[in-house]
Amino acid sequence: MNQWKIMFRKEMLEMWRNSKWIWLPIVFILFGIMQPVTAYYLPQILKNTGSLSKSAVINIPLPTGGEVLIKTLSQYGTIGLLIIVLASMGMVSNERISGVAGMILMKPVKFASYLTAKWAAALTITLFSFSLGFFVSWYYTCSLVGEVNFSRAFVSFLLYCLWLAFIVTITLLASTSFNENAAIAFITLAFATVLTVSANVFTKYMHWSPSHLTDQATTFLVKGEFASHLSLVLIVTSLSIILLLYMSIYVFKKKQLET
């Protein structure tokens, strides 16, 4: 366990040196603020663009607080996902290419400790950044647009955290399997996209899909109740994360032993 803690602290220090602890939370906070502020000030923004006559009357109904927070989650599901993958895609491949991984593993460090410490560090900064962005968005939504029940928002937040944990774990597997960062990002995003699209197209056969966590999060935010098959989605997602971690360790160990 001490070995794992040392590896985890190394990863956290490395991310601090790379300024990830600065720019990643800032990006998520900006995304969180953008939607409620834009929704509230949209009439003034349109009025000040200068493209409309002074006599023009702008009457845009203000969305509900829940609708604004759902749009924020939607942004995290697209651009936010891309940023997470770009920030974590090189967590294994960069050290393998530079030879740092080989130097570390020459010491009595277990493959599992090395990889799970990297996974936990990437997950920590991802969830920390998302937490800041989500709750800043919730605060500004409540202040500018309308009240959003905190309990509903918190449950939606937890469901979305599990989806992000699933994405980070896929990124880890891709990073252990490929050396090129472009390939890692493409494979991860393509897998997430295919999973989401197929779950929406083949709804009858894809009740188990982890991508339904985002639907569950928005449904609970609006209605205060879960959509069907939540238990199945939670079980499949949790087991998938464990399986992906095992696969990552197996692939990484095989590649290291081959070299």
At residue 12, does pLDDT exceed 80?
A: yes
At residue 249, does pLDDT exceed 90?
A: yes
pLDDT for position 56: 65
Which has the minimum average pLDDT: 9-23, 36-50, 71-85, 127-141?
A: 36-50
For residues 49 and 210, the model is more confident at 210
At residue 237, does pLDDT exceed 80?
A: yes
pLDDT for position 52: 62
How far, in Å, CA of 55 to CA of 208, rounded? Answer: 54
pLDDT for position 203: 82
Instruction: List, for residues 45-59, the tens digit of each pLDDT value.
Output: 777 766 666 666 667
* Stretch 132-157: mean pLDDT: 92
Residues whose CB falls within 8 Å of the CB of residue 35, separated by 6 or more in sequence, listed in order:
68, 69, 71, 72, 75, 137, 141
* Stretch 135-147: mean pLDDT: 91
- Cα dihedral: 253, 89, 116, 94 (round 10): 50
At residue 129, does pLDDT exceed 90?
A: yes
Residue 169 phi/psi, 5-degree rounding, is: -70, -35
Q: Contact at 8 Å (CB) between 136 and 32? A: yes
pLDDT for position 51: 62
* Stretch 112-116: mean pLDDT: 91
What pTM, to 2 d.p., does this model score? Answer: 0.91
For residues 51 and 11, the model is more confident at 11
pLDDT for position 50: 61
Instruction: List, for residues 176-185, the tens digit of each pLDDT value.
Output: 998 888 999 9
* Stretch 232-245: mean pLDDT: 96
* Stretch 94-120: mean pLDDT: 84
**pLDDT grade, residue 92 (50/70/90)?**
confident
* Stretch 52-77: mean pLDDT: 79
How far, in Å, CA of 191 to CA of 170, rounded? Answer: 9
pLDDT for position 126: 95
At residue 63, does pLDDT exceed 90?
A: no
